[in-house]
Amino acid sequence: MTVSLCDVLKTAEKNNTAVGAFNVPNWESAEAITGAAEETNKPVILNYAPLHAPFMSMEDAAEIMKYFADKAKVPVCVHLDHGDSFETCIKAIQLGFTSVMIDASAEPYEENIQITSEVVKASHAVGVSVEAELGHIFVSVNGVGKAPVKVETKDSFGDVNDIYTRPEMAKDFAAKTGVDALAIAFGTAHGIYVTKPVLDLDRISEIKRAVDMPFVMHGGSGLSKEEFQTAIRNGIRKINYYTYMTLSGGKAVKEAADRMSAGDTVFFHDIPGIAVKAMKEDVKQAIRIFSNEI
């Protein structure tokens, strides 16, 4: 069943868990994610980000995500991840997304507030939830499917408070924008970790004491179960997870190909199923961790 971000976050807040948000650049990803959600009987978020446009357009993604969300036996949110403008967010809403993220975190603080407020006003008018971002979330890979590059770390910058989310700023931002969820920066990174990140997990608790609202972790792949669950205990309610999911699908296909002899017949229709099965198992493991079940 299709629901809003606020709906799944209420459940996560009540149970002191986090809901997984998994990216959808193709049909197979949507099938794997919703299949995992149904088998674990847990809500899930289907993400589409503008960076997936080379693989699938937002228009096509909307149809696929809505199809799987509508027929799912568990609550599924259809979410725009890292919307880069007011216009992109409005387009997503018109296509049927039930939640949008406006990411103006690279802009000056007051401009981030202004842009986010405009998106919140337009989205709330039609019952759509809004996520925003405050702080700097590192990037550790030069695009999905490309070779890892040097990881950004807090040492790449000056004062850590200039890149990590400040509690007092989060409180002010939430009050001035009316946003439903806030992606906060505390040391995680998007992509493949080539060095282990140093997380400031206590900062989540500090921000939570300043403003009691659902927080979002971006760059969740590659962390330990203990790190995930400490972050959840401290206030994280949505976790974006993609890189290791899609890597599991690619690895399974490669291993299947390596097992074939030179004379074997290969049918393309068998290949997507191999990837779906592997990705579904990876997502199920992530969901169980986020639900504090393992």
Closest to 170 measured CA to CA, from 123, 216, 125:
216
* Backbone phi and psi for residue 226, each to the nearest 5 degrees, phi listed first: -65, -40
Round to whole Å and give the CA distance between 104 and 87. 13
| DSSP H stretches of helix in 161-240 | 167-177, 201-210, 225-234
Q: Which of 81, 103, 180, 282 is catalytic?
A: 81
Cβ atoms of 129 and 180 closer than 8 Å:
yes
* Residue 81 annotated among the catalytic residues of the structure: yes
Cβ atoms of 182 and 170 closer than 8 Å:
yes
Round to whole Å and give the CA distance between 91 and 62. 11
* DSSP state, residue 292: T
Nearest-10 Cα torsion for 43, 62, 242, 290:
-10
Round to whole Å and give the CA distance between 59 and 87. 14
Catalytic residues: 81
